[in-house]
Amino acid sequence: MQPSYTQIVPRRGGGAHIGPMNQSPKLLTQPTIVVVPWIDPVVDQAGASLFSRYVELYWLPVLGPSALWILRRIAMGFETFPAGYELDCAATANDIGLSFTQSPNNSFSRSLQRCLYFGAIQPHQGGLAVRCYLPAISKRHLQRLSPALREVHEAWNPGNMSGDDTDSSQGT
């Protein structure tokens, strides 16, 4: 079942241009947040889709499952509203099994904060710009992975971020 989305948000210039980082907890606790795709030509070209095996294997342990599900749900909304839309935070949280209140300590807002911290979202014109592709995981983030997963990552073909060329028997 696809979540319901409202309000198309017009964008100028074909994408979100990211300004200075503002980790305001107030933005992350609003009942609705305007979300737009974060257009980054380099990452969009060379990065991995939020739905790829690469993200599942290597970004999931860094972001956490709730944060990754939020990113994926937002990206699914871009299929219907490519210019962006107004995200109903309570409904989205409920749909993925999280709580939402207008307190910074709810599980949905904490997961959004993780996305912000790890560069998967950025504040943008009173809302959020959201990546649909993630870059190759950094060496710093690789240290968060298990030794077995780091070993599999070392053997990864960097030319194929989709993850289709990795044998599933390799430590996963």
Q: What digits encode the pLDDT tens for the residues 110-156?
A: 999 999 999 999 999 989 999 999 999 999 999 889 999 999 998 88
Helix (H, G, I), strand (E, B) or coil at 39: coil
pLDDT exceeds cutoff 60 at 13: no
Arithmetic mean of pLDDT, 147-171: 68
> Do residues 36 and 120 touch, judged by C-beta distance below 8 A?
no
3-state DSSP assignment of residue 121: strand
In contact, 84 and 78? CB cutoff 8 Å: yes
Q: What is the pLDDT of residues 58-114, one digit of tens each?
A: 999 999 999 999 999 999 999 999 999 999 999 999 999 999 998 878 999 999 999
DSSP symbols for 83-105: T-EEEEHHHHHHHTT----SSTT
